[in-house]
Amino acid sequence: MIVGGIRSCSVRSLFVLAGLIGSATVQAQPQTDSNPRPIRTTRITTINSEIVVDGVLDESVWSDAPKIGDLIQRIPNTGAAPTQRTDVTLLRDANNLYIGVFCHDTEPRRIASTQMSRDAMLNSDDRLTIILDTWRDKNNGFYFSTNPAGALVDGLISANGQTTPDWDGIWIVRTRRSKDGWTAEFSIPFRTLGFPAGQTAWGFNIARNIQRNLEEDRWTGALRQTQLYQVSEAGEITNLEGATQGIGLDLRPFIAGRWLHTNSSRDDVFVGKPGLDMVYNITPSLKLTATANTDFGETEVDARQINLSRFSLLFPEKRTFFLQDAGIFNFGSNGPAPSPGVPPTGADIFPFFSRQIGLLNGFEVPIDVGIKLTGRVRRTDFGFLNVRTRELGDLPAKNLVVARVRQNFLKQSYVGAIITSGQPSGQKASSTFGTDMRLATSRLFGKPRNLIVNLYALKTINEGVKGKDWSYGFSAIYPNDRYDVQVTMREIQDNFRPAIGFVQRRNVRMFRVGTSFNPRPKDLMNIQQMFHDVYFTRFTRLDNGETESMYLYATLIDWHFNTGDSMHSLFDIDYNYERLFAPFVISKGVVLPPGIYEFTRFRNTFSSAAQRRLSGSINYSFGQYWSGTAQILSTGITYKMPPRLSIAVNTNQTFARLPQGNFVARILSTQVNYSVSPFLTFSNLIQFDNLSRNLGWQSRARWTLNPGNDLFFVFGQGWQQDENGGYHFNALESKVSTKLQYTYRF
């Protein structure tokens, strides 16, 4: 039996602790400044001639302009010269930043390039990634990636490392392969980027990954403990005087149509409507984003999840309007994330979670208008969101409001506040307000080490509810390559209910401590890195002080090989303690009675290198499970015909045998993606789970005529399995959505 715990902490004590840590950080600062690290800088070459973006660097300006200098190997041999040379050239005119890259390769046949769809996961490919910190605040930025097939991948960076990968900017890249390697030619309009007036220097970094060597080369920040998205480690590019964003207005009118056929009633409903999305840079540091008569018919369907826990599941946001500048609304109660493979805490808190707007119990609530104002004044970031949802049946029209402000100080730290107002699902008023603080450094006591401390306090005010409506907490994380340590304390009171937010569990006090030791041995069984984790988590009920849940998770062997194959776990130990204070329906007809449950499970996970044409993974866990036993088997297999076709089949199955009853929980899914080019892609997702007995198919096509001008076509079909099971399914509904959007830039 594991014992331990923490005493209740007050909001005041948390912020006293923040002050002490902040003082230590400030005291350490002179040591860093007295021995400043050399910052790599380069000057962009201004051009007057036209650049044809075709992936061939044949204009004379590419050869005449100076290169930015050699890259440096980060892994596997930190500080060494790269195994292949990379030439990078930066050009600009009044409207665009051009980046030309020649990736020399002495073995061009071994270049990995398996995908070309928009926002593809490029981890299995050779690739280039560009980081731009246009505000030079060392906290926020943009990233742009591509591979030899010319895939367009982009996203936003906030809080010096947090990413929003679903953001889509207007830019272009073309690539070309040759007998000497491959080239990439980027054109990034200044209008796509936000930057303050008069800014003449930006943060910049570029990384090249050579997948067959598991090698990463960078221009700057080539340290093992430094992640690429840490914009604080970027170098600097100059000669940006006169960069213009025009008047800063993007108008994106669209026409959307939707046809729905319900098989049971044989009803056909067709809806067509125009709409408008707008982005206007009121000033270079103040952006207004607006949407009218909004339609999200082009959005990808959610991946299926089966919930066998007592707490809510989180589905990610995928709608474009809410993803724009989403990082400004991030709050200190989010995270920290554990090491890969370690179970999450199950106590996520989001004071603002945008999926609560326009979606209710899985159904869409129409949005009439939405306005978002984001910007920066010196070192202050702020965001304001107001969305008006339409009346729907018994649900009245709603105004939902979020306001966020963040004051940056030191190099990577801030103190902030958030306020939300509105109740998406009812008549009663609701609001949430709170404050958070982040203290972070990548130069701990003058050495290249990362340390992040987060504190927060939140309170909800819901009509008819009084008391027990706070949540507050503290986390400290030391995320470095060889050692990763974290401590988290969090209290979530029973009546803490943010109406436009998300809370996984209430009436608990959580304590988590974990550490990972991750050496990189040399000349040992071709191992790239070894991971060893120990995490302890405890939840104590606030109403009676008794332990509700307790977990101890230990990774004994997690080996990543230089081939790209991984033995992620070999007999990982997962000890669980659960106390049920009320009956728990874990599956249909299977009810666990109140009481104490202690059980230990073991896990084995293997995966093959993703760059292979045929790759796969298997995760098998077994052992005690609540009052009985269970085997959980997750498998995945992917076949690629690079770079156009990818077929993936995944399964997740739980076979439980309990005294209260046996059950099987099963999810099956197949993803088929085909790309004609980086600008015309087709994706198909077929999913089935045996609890809802629902089989769903979504087929989605996206044709980008030009960056910013897109045609979407989405077909969906649902079936219901017969109650007796088997292979007989009855059609439920058919749905077709189309959307044509065109961007005018002024």
Residue 593 covered by a domain: no
What does the DSSP assignment read for 639-693? EEETTTEEEEEEEEEEEEEETTEEEEEEEEEEEEEEEEETTEEEEEEEEEETTTT
Using CA atoms of 131, 137, 138, 139 in order, give the dihedral in degrees to the nearest 10.
Answer: -90
Where does the pLDDT of residue 6 fall: very low under 50, low under 70, confident under 90, or very high at 90 and above?
very low
If one compares 158 and 440, the residue with the highest pLDDT of the two is 440
User: How does pLDDT run across 521-554, given as a tens digit for each residue?
Assistant: 988 889 999 999 999 999 999 999 999 999 999 9
Asked if 113 and 47 sit in the same domain, the reply is yes
Least confident of 165-174, 198-207, 219-228, 332-341: 332-341
Closest by CA position to 625, among listed 598, 605, 652: 598
User: Tell me: the pLDDT tens digits for 142-180?
Assistant: 999 999 999 999 999 988 888 888 788 999 999 999 999
Residue 451 domain flag: yes
In a domain, 695, yes or no: no
pLDDT at residue 252, as a whole number:
94
47 and 4 within one domain: no
Query: Does the pLDDT at position 408 exceed 60?
Result: yes
* Backbone angles phi and psi of 59, in degrees to 5: -70, 145
Quick one: pLDDT at residue 27?
A: 33
* pLDDT value, residue 37: 54
Kindly state whether residue 551 falls inside one of the protein's structural domains: no
What's the Cα-to-Cα distance from 222 to each of 216, 217, 294, rounded to whole Å? Answer: 9, 7, 44
5 part of a folded domain: yes
Q: What is the pLDDT of residues 259-269, one digit of tens each?
A: 999 988 888 99
Q: Could you give the CA distance from residue 435 to residue 475 in angstroms, rounded to a whole number?
A: 15
Parallel, antiparallel or unpaired: strands 41-43 and 235-238: parallel
pLDDT tens, residue by residue, 115-149? 999 999 999 999 999 999 998 888 889 999 999 99
Q: Quick one: which H or E segment has residue 210?
A: strand 202-210
- CA pseudo-torsion sign 603, 609, 610, 615: negative
Is residue 26 helix, strand or coil?
A: helix
Residue 627 to residue 310: CA distance in whole angstroms: 15
Q: Is the pLDDT of residue 34 over 60?
A: no
Which among 238, 266, 295 is the end of a domain? 238
At residue 318, the pLDDT reads 83
Evaluate whether residue 105 is within a structural domain: yes
Is 697 domain-assigned?
A: no
* CA–CA separation, 457 and 475 (whole Å): 12
β-bridge mates for residue 420, sequence order: 402, 432
Query: Rounded CA gap, 682 and 669, in Å?
Result: 17
Whether 29 and 48 share a structural domain? no
pLDDT digits (tens, 9 = 90+) for 626-676: 999 999 999 999 999 999 999 999 999 999 999 999 999 999 999 999 999
Asked which of 215, 238, 261 is the last residue of a domain, the reply is: 238
- Do 168 and 41 fall into the same domain? yes
- 359 and 398 in a single domain? The answer is yes
Contact, 164 vs 155, CB < 8 A? yes
Residue 677 has pLDDT above 90, yes or no: yes
Give the 3-state secondary structure percentages of the chain, helix then strand then coil, rounded to 5.
5, 55, 40
- Same domain (yes/no): 386, 347: yes
Q: Are residues 29 and 61 in the same domain?
A: no
Dist CA 76 CA 81 (whole Å): 11
Residue 418 shares a structural domain with residue 480:
yes
* Pair (436, 361) in one structural domain: yes
Q: Can you list the alpha helix ranges (DSSP code H) found in 3-106?
A: 11-34, 60-64
Domain CATH code at residue 147: 2.60.40.1190
- Do 416 and 481 belong to one domain? yes
For the chain, give the mean pLDDT: 90
Domain extent for 364: 1-36+307-509
Residues in the chain: 746
Q: Is 198 exposed, middle or buried (0-12, 13-18, 19+ CB in 10 A)?
A: exposed
Greatest Cα pair distance, the chain, in angstroms, is 78
Specify the number of domains making up the chain.
Answer: 2
451 and 487, same domain (yes or no): yes
Is residue 193 one of the residues assigned to a domain? yes
User: In the numeric block, which tokens belong to residue 620?
Assistant: 């098998």
Same domain flag for 69 and 180: yes
